[in-house]
Amino acid sequence: LLFTPVGRGPMALASPRATPLISRHVAWPAQQLLGWFGDTTGGFAQSSSSCTPIRRVSTSLRQPPLHRPQRGGDCIHMKVPLLAQCGAGSCHSLERRAAASGHTTDATTLEVVAERPHFPSEELRILQHWRDIDAFRESLRQSQARGSEPYVFYDGPPFATGLPHYGHILAGTIKDVVTRYAHQSGYHVERRFGWDCHGLPVEYEIDKKLGVQGRDDVLRMGIGVYNEECRAIVTRYTEEWREIVQRFGRWIDFDNDYKTMDLNYMESCWWVFKELYSKGLVYRAFRVMPYSTACGTAISNFEVAQNYREVSDPSIVVRFRVANQENCSLLAWTTTPWTLPSNVALCVNPDLPYLKVMSKADGQQWIVGKARWSWLCALLKKDPEQDFEILQEVRGADLVGIPYSPLFDYFKDKVIDGKAFRVVADPYVSSEAGTGIVHQAPAFGEDDHRVCLAEGIVFRDGSGMLCPVDMNGCFTNEVPDLAGQHVKQADKGIRDRLRDSGHLVFNGTEVHNYPHCWRSDTPLIYRAVPSWFITVEDARERLIANTQETHWVPPFVKECRFHNWLAEARDWCVSRSRYWGTPIPLWVSSDFEEIVCIGSVAELEQHAGRKLTDIHRHFIDDIEIPSKQGKGMLRRVDEVFDCWFESGAMPYASRHYPFERPEAFDKCFPAQFVAEGLDQTRGWFYTLTVLSTLLFDKPPAQNFIVNGLVLAADGKKMSKRLKNYPDPLDIASAHGADAVRMYLCNSPVVRAEPLKFKEEGVRDVVKDVFLPWYNAYRFLVQETIRYEMGTERFAPNPDSIQVSTNLMDRWIISESHCLLKFVREEIEAYRLYTVVPRLLTFLQDLTNRYVRLNRDRMRGTHGQAEACTSLQTLYTVLLNITVLLAPVTPFITEMMYQNLARALPDGHALKAASVHFVMIPAFNPEVMDLEIAVAVRRMQAVIELGRTCRDRRKVGLKTPLRALVVMNSSQDFVKDVRLLQEYIQEELNVLSVAYRTDTNNVALSAVLNFKLLGQQLGKDMKRVKQAADELSQDELAEFGRSGSISLCGHHITSEAMTVARRVESLNDPNLETFGDAETMVIMDFTPDEELAQMALAREVANRIQRLRKRVGLLPEDDVQIWASVIPGLKGTGALGQMLETRRDDISRSIRRELRIGAVEQAGGMEVLGQEEFSPGVDDGERILLTICRRSGKDD
């Protein structure tokens, strides 16, 4: 019967066959124990709010009954079945400590831990521990009390109108790793969460909720009503954000967050803008901008790059009839027919050749670019020679000034007389697409506007501009035939009218990538709008120069993507014709000639004559400022700031600079660190850089980490609608947040490359990293408890490690300090992508080499002194690595640390209430021994070669072999391997190892990868094969070392050619050879009787250990192990002889006496478990293994 005290964590059997058999006395206060249990009559506790039902475990093995409690003083004494293999749950539970010690909870230094931990449950317990000690704030209090130097980190504000996804978790993990490391390196690291509260994401939600179709709807309900609706949903998901962010282990302050809609934040944005205005960097212009018809506002050029989608658009060729030449037309191609009613010119390239051709069928003459003539004929399915006659070839410059008749009559009398409806020229016209002639609609094309402005067709004040499209993207009454239609819907009607009028030459479709609104996912248009701009183009060189002073990871993002963006930086449109945002603080006259820029709330209060507690539009739009030039009252402009301006001002606005503690900001600017996704290089990173350069001529931060995009497993964008990715909380519940963190940090995404998120990748982290690491930790705990039961209490003693003569001890200590050095250097260089792989390599070295090769030492096989030294070594390494890994995996390290720290004396530098309060240890150059590292690598190389020999012979490691010969010409190599020979013998299960430095009889030969080379070399394959066969032994040896060689002018690498080695004159079929570039091994597989006995003895020992585990024994449990032979029909007594001969070997392996024969019945022996097996001998004999104890024995 198993019981689980409420609130103490579940206890579950690791295996259905693991049965609690051994009882121990445990004492608990009576009140507490009776609160856990109800009436146990019938074997089950009664369920109630304060107890958990007892679960019955089926077993065929005998187990002692659960005794009913007996009252005795203040405690209840009862026999509790010992659960040797605890399942998931708190390693601090009272039951577990009692089980480990046998009496009191402080009997052992380290607490016993679960065999198979459930990491997600442990993480929840750790979260509660952090809440109990107020861990995050306590860490800040400690660093502040130390007077630590500040480490400044900027956290870009996300929108709270949606839930966080893996992209947010990735960026948050990177930020958390760096800032945790900074704190554990002695810095004071403030971390405040922020919220982007304004802008299209919020307004778009309200538009959908209220059915808002355009500006008139907003004005009808009132801007105040609309804005308050926006305010109401801004923090809709803040609690969910807090839950998810904290569940993934990130430490950040949600209670002292900043919001872009707060008065202080908005006021600092005003200050930033006024500073720029005072420097003459703000201007108003009528300019063609990317425009979202769904949101009714212009957007910035860098926002356009965020959402390109493949669409099918109209593709038409239209003819414009040359004036006074009835049969002659200029041909233009377009994918936006809706812009044709606003056409005012046709543009050619002055330097390109153009053709005037005539149709043989009807005599119609066309003017078209020469380079595009064949394309056009293919489009029309015409033969250029049979169907047409070329009349003339001219340069584009010769066409300039040719007048033509407009397609429509809507604006025939509304253009600037003598300027419109003629051919103009500009080099931007390309011969790569279309007809070489581009129709000009300056209200809807950036180049169109520039060209027409230069030609005097339109003016900067908007004169001559034909813009019959309203803010919602619908035609106005200026085009009565299309009035009220959205421009994209009007394309069909326009094509029909062109066909009916004879102007449509070709009518088709074009599939291409087209920009869409990043918020509404609707196609953008380009539209001329009056906007407020910040001058950026003049600051390009300064932007680039400041960026050169910064460090980016990976560097190519800075050197290529970001540099190229800055080199082409355009003036920044910071105004939006919207409502919910920080109002642009400009009060202007009706002619815009008098402007007052407000830079603070106090300044506006002087003009308003009232106190202002909010400066959103509906609180200040009524304020008027008297003109000083006799222009009446100045009124605020209609626009609000682009929300990217607000986020770019985050370094100043989040601190209410310069209105509060300006000196503190001045000392800490630029920040040490920022991190965001690759898409933010043209977003937040860009706006940060622009504002910091224009304000202070400095970069915003010293170090930038850029991560890639997290995609669904199929490589597509993660979509809530498609449900093509697992819920983050489900993944954390299944595998743990630490597993997600390490999976992300060890993926290409931290190198700004895309990641296809796969749950199996997270699962593999648990299986391949956490469980081996945890098993090494659990092994330390087990062996420390065993050590303490045999001798004195375990206490860490660095001095004993320093004087250790064991090479493996010195090696793992050296490797741990090399790791400390490496991690410090790499994280301080912000190269997270190099850190985690190195950490994983070290963990593999620790678990697969050090622990594996030193298990017997730690178990006391070589004496208690050696056991103590090896345990001290493993403890020190695990403690240091736990502290070092804490920033990456905060939960599992905290779980291990809480137990490991029990061994440290009070006041020790590494002892604290949380691992995250502990400073990362400094590396010690004196213990970093590279020679030992080389020796261990050489030892491991020999072991791998030996394993390959066994694999090729299909002989497992359980079968002992007589000898191994190591051949290497280097005396140093042989010397190193000799020092570690005992580990080679143990790992390869060989009785002896011999060495040869004479390798003259090792012949090398080239082996070509014909499949790979055949594709690359073609006919040269034969020559290369002959050249490879003729290589000398020295040349082959050099290739083995370098991995490359030139053959017949071709560069051959180790992928295309390998070197085979064989030992000449080696004809014994029992010998197997294998080698690498430096070493050859010969393994002797000759069978004999002694080896067979040793193999059988090893199998017996292994079966005994598995049987002990199945019946739930602890290493220190006092039991007897018996082995007896069950005779077969043809019994020879071979098994009995083997048991007698190998009794001592088996006893050493199981660390207790093996008794031969039937179990003694005298004294009342109780059988705990038995196993009968056949060792595969031909005489039918079997072995019976029995584990027992004296009946009624009280442990």
Catalytic residues: 157, 196, 644, 680, 684, 717, 720
Q: Is 913 helix (H, G, I), strand (E, B) or coil?
A: coil
Question: Kind of pairing, strands 710-711 and 755-756?
Answer: parallel
- For residue 1125, the tally of other CB atoms under 10 A from its CB is 19
Cα separation, 185 vs 990, whole angstroms: 47
Please report, in angstroms and rounded to a whole number, the separation of the first and last CA atoms in the chain. 19
Show the tokens assigned to 1039: 């290739």
Pair 312, 510: CB distance under 8 Å: yes
How many other C-beta atoms lie within 10 A of the C-beta of residue 183?
26
Distance separating alpha carbons of residues 688 and 670, to the nearest angstrom: 11
Helix axis angle for 832-844 and 864-885, nearest 10°, is 160
Backbone phi, then psi, for 471, in 5-degree steps? -70, -20
- Interstrand relation of 961-967 and 755-756 (parallel, antiparallel or unpaired): unpaired
Bridge-based pairing state of the strands 990-996 and 961-967: parallel
Say which amino acid occupies 867.
A
Angle between helices 1089-1110 and 1143-1150 (to 10 degrees): 30
For 365, the token pair is 């003459």
Both structure tokens of 177: 């790793």
> Using CA atoms, how far apart are residues 379 and 424, in angstroms rounded to an integer?
26
Instruction: Say which amino acid occupies 1048.
Output: C
Closest CA to 886 of 877, 876, 875, 897: 897
- The answer for residues whose C-beta is within 8 angstroms of residue 191's C-beta and 6 or more apart is 153, 155, 175, 179, 251, 252, 253
Nearest CA to 272 out of 654, 825, 606, 818 is that of 654
Q: Is 353 left (phi over 0), alpha (psi -120 to 50) or beta?
A: beta
CB under 8 Å to 890, separation ≥6 — which residues? 126, 176, 180, 249, 251, 738, 915, 916
Task: Please tell me the distance from the alpha carbon of residue 434 to that of residue 351, in angstroms, as a whole number.
Answer: 17
Closest CA to 877 of 979, 792, 776: 776
Q: Are 189 and 144 in contact (CB under 8 A)?
A: no
Instruction: For residue 905, report the phi and psi dihedrals to the nearest 5 degrees.
Output: -70, 155
Our CA dihedral for 495, 497, 501, 503, rounded to 10 degrees, sits at -20
Exposure string (b/e) for 946-963, b if CB count within 10 Å is 16 or more?
Answer: bebbbeeeebeeebbbbe
What Rg, from alpha-carbon coordinates, does the chain have? 40
Structure tokens at 145: 């009390």
Q: Could you give phi then psi for residue 9, rounded to 5 degrees?
A: 90, 145
- Amino acid 391 reads L
